[in-house]
Amino acid sequence: MELLFLGTGAGTPSRLRNVSSVALTLTDEGGSVWLFDCGEGTQHRILRTAISPGKIEKIFITHLHGDHIFGLPGLLTSRSMLGTNGALMLYGPTGIKAYVEIALATSASYLTYPLEIVEFEPGVIHQDDRFCVTALPLNHVVPSFGYRIEESDRPGSLDAARLKAAGIRPGPLFQRLKAAERVQLDDGRIIDGRDFLGPSIKGRKVAIFGDTAPAENASLLANGVDLMVHEATLEASMAERANGRGHSTTRQAAQAAKDAGAKRLIVTHLSPRYGKEDEERLLEECRTVFPNTEMAADLTSFTV
């Protein structure tokens, strides 16, 4: 999986940072892209990456503030003008459906692809044989959600050398053994695939949060994740101001990662008041609490 930050600023775009959006590319799934939030100008940022809008299969919106959704109508219609016909699922809090439908209708836009809009209830909002996505409310001035993305564990690899030593020749049988089946050989022996499989490969877990002050559900959503994305709108000394507006400080973001037992933290959604010269100080504030912290910048990517 590859996490690519398209916009990492809070509220309004600045020369340094565009407003919120992050793309998760599922490299093992043919490069499907899941987008989290879509602030204004997101499609311009996408033009500077290898992402093709047709590859975006799902968009998850954390909350309905403009810096997280004003890029949606443009991206949705461009995806259509490019001739894409692959379906798109859009998940978000109540209100996302009316917002998108009114924007498309009043601009006489039409889409060449099926768009399904899901206004979800908290809990598991998507499940297939590869992924489970859970959304729970955080602590902001409007309903704002955090997402937990869990990949299923994969079976371990087949020990071909040991099979060969047992006199079993490579062939269609291997596929069945890899699927942990019991098979009977021509000589009558019964072989259990599970005896020849290495340890299963743990699925990856990622948490991507919307805007939030310290929130009760944070530890639940980010419990033991490989990577957590959390906002850090203001510096540590401005906790009162940050929390009063439903935001977190650097330290509070780091504390959330520590409390949840996350392995790695990436902070984003930085106030436009901060320039390049402030970044080291802000990052240091996080690292005093949670050393394995990095700061997102527009168009930087992280491998999970």
Q: Is 265 helix (H, G, I), strand (E, B) or coil?
A: strand
| Residue 290 DSSP symbol | -
Q: Which of 28, 37, 67, 129 is catalytic?
A: 67
* CB of residue 65 to Zn ion, shortest distance in Å: 4
Confirm whether 195 is a catalytic residue.
no
Q: In this complex, which beta carbon is closest to Zn ion, that of residue 12 or of residue 152?
A: 12
**Residue 208 burial (CB count, 10 A):** 27
Structural contact between residues 150 and 131, judged by C-beta atoms closer than 8 angstroms:
yes
Structural contact between residues 122 and 173, judged by C-beta atoms closer than 8 angstroms:
no
* CB of residue 213 to Zn ion, shortest distance in Å: 11
* CB of residue 268 to Zn ion, shortest distance in Å: 10
Taking the chain, what is the end-to-end CA distance rounded to the nearest angstrom?
A: 5
Interacting span for Zn ion (CB under 5 A) from 59-67, 91-99, 149-157, 296-304: 59-67
Q: Is 285 in the site for Zn ion (CB under 5 A)?
A: no
**Whole-angstrom distance, CA of residue 255 vs CA of residue 260:** 8
Interacting span for Zn ion (CB under 5 A) from 25-33, 61-69, 130-138, 157-165: 61-69
Contact set for Zn ion, span 111-150 (CB under 5 A): none
**Whole-angstrom distance, CA of residue 7 vs CA of residue 23:** 10
Interacting span for Zn ion (CB under 5 A) from 96-104, 120-128, 190-198, 204-212: 204-212
Q: Is 65 in the site for Zn ion (CB under 5 A)?
A: yes
Q: Is 211 in the site for Zn ion (CB under 5 A)?
A: yes
**Whole-angstrom distance, CA of residue 300 vs CA of residue 291:** 20
230 is in an annotated binding site: no
| 47 burial level (CB within 10 Å; 0-12, 13-18, 19+) | exposed
Whole-number CA gyration radius for the chain: 22
Q: Is 235 in the site for Zn ion (CB under 5 A)?
A: no
The size of the interface with Zn ion (CB under 5 A), counted in residues, is: 3
Catalytic positions are 67
Known binding-site residues for Zn(2+) equal 63, 65, 67-68, 140, 211, 269
Q: Which spans of this chain sit near Zn ion (rule: CB under 5 A)?
A: 65, 67, 211
